[in-house]
Amino acid sequence: MRVLSGMQPSGTLHIGNYLGALKQWVEAQSSDAFYCVVDLHALTLEIDPATLRSQTLDLIATYLAAGLDPEICTIFLQSEVPYHAQMNWLLECVATYGELSRMTQFKEKSTRKTGYRVGLLTYPVLMAGDILLYETAEVPVGDDQRQHLELTRVLAERFNNRYGPTFVVPVGVQPKVAARVMDLQEPTRKMSKSISSPMGSIFVTDSASEIDKKIKKAVTDTDNEVRYDWDTKPGISNLLEIYSSLSDETPQAVAERYTRYGDLKSDLSALVVESLAPIQKRYDELMTDPVELRAVVARGALKANEVAGEVYRRAAHAMGLI
């Protein structure tokens, strides 16, 4: 089953990125799985060039540290496969302005600033191309990518109807729990690299004491009953989902073991520290050899270019390009 997903190199991953996406990727890896660092996407918002380069290397190291194995799956940089930019153009000529301007993430990000970049508007088309270029059946992503996945399906179907069967129509897959990890300080808002307060996100590189402090200070409520119920207890439900994702139990089963918030928080903090420690150790080792990190994605790009090139040529031909 062909699988593809990607992340932006826009800063250290938080535990939402890890539980919502990367952890699933590791479970789904096979010779048919493609995982990319979507560096072109990171250009849609202002980013210092040197920072982008170093965050790209960081993200490759994080993928490997979390357990992606380049001997098993294909790991590559989006910008090293030029078909992504080319496919973007073909699909921009299939998508409409109306459907792009209605995207929730575009509306949120464009209202925060005047003079936003055109790339911010067309971003979901680039993402659709990332997916369609690989004849992807399944896209493992967090819940916030649902709308982008839906657009990808709409564009694939529209293209196939107008120009003949060309693309596989993909589906998004979300994990059963932790598909939308919430901000620890504001549990009705998703944990986010760009908006969350520093105390609201746990980063995969956080030290044990930082993790402990953030979980102990996580906003809960005052009724002191450990119950999994998003409507009335979002703070506790969020902690239970993080716990459940790391322990492979249901959130309800975890909730049943606790009567006090403090005990749940202490155990969760120990579990998060213990789960991230091996990733952090391996990340530190990998970062000592940036040449090898570059080599991993260079090898990945060879395979990615082969697969994407074929699909690109098929799509270009279908549209009438000689």
Query: Which positions lie near ligand TYM, rule CB under 6 A?
Result: 4-8, 16-17, 20-21, 38, 41, 127, 130-131, 139, 141-142, 144-145, 148, 179-181, 190-191
C-alpha–C-alpha distance, residues 321 and 156, integer Å: 18
CA distances from 254 to 115, 222, 315 (A): 47, 20, 49
Q: Residue 33 Cβ, how far from ligand TYM at the closest point, in Å?
A: 12
Q: What Rg do the C-alpha atoms of the chain give, in angstroms? A: 20
Q: Residue 268 Cβ, how far from ligand TYM at the closest point, in Å?
A: 16
Catalytic site includes residue 217: no
CA torsion angle 122 123 128 134 (round to 10): 130
Which CB sits closer to ligand TYM, 121 or 266? 121
User: How many other CB atoms are there within 10 angstroms of residue 189's CB atom?
Assistant: 13
Catalytic residue among 23, 107, 176, 193: 193
Q: Which strand (E) or helix (H) includes residue 317?
A: helix 290-319
181 DSSP 8-state letter: P
Burial class (CB in 10 A: 0-12, 13-18, 19+), 160: middle
Which CB sits closer to ligand TYM, 142 or 251? 142
Q: Which residue number places its CB atom closest to ligand TYM?
A: 20
Q: Residue 288 Cβ, how far from ligand TYM at the closest point, in Å?
A: 25
Q: Residue 12 Cβ, how far from ligand TYM at the closest point, in Å?
A: 12
Which CB sits closer to ligand TYM, 85 or 295? 85
Catalytic residue among 23, 109, 233, 265: 109
Q: Residue 24 Cβ, how far from ligand TYM at the closest point, in Å?
A: 9
Long-range contacts of 261-267 (CB under 8 A, 24+ apart): 261/220, 261/224, 261/226, 261/236, 264/226, 264/236, 264/239, 264/240, 265/215, 265/216, 265/218, 265/239, 266/216, 267/243
Catalytic site includes residue 281: no
Which CB sits closer to ligand TYM, 116 or 225? 116
Q: What are phi and psi of 5, to 5 degrees?
A: -155, 170
Which CB sits closer to ligand TYM, 146 or 225? 146
Catalytic residue among 190, 214, 233, 265: 190
C-alpha–C-alpha distance, residues 209 and 99, integer Å: 45
Catalytic site includes residue 265: no
- Residues tagged active-site: 109, 190, 193
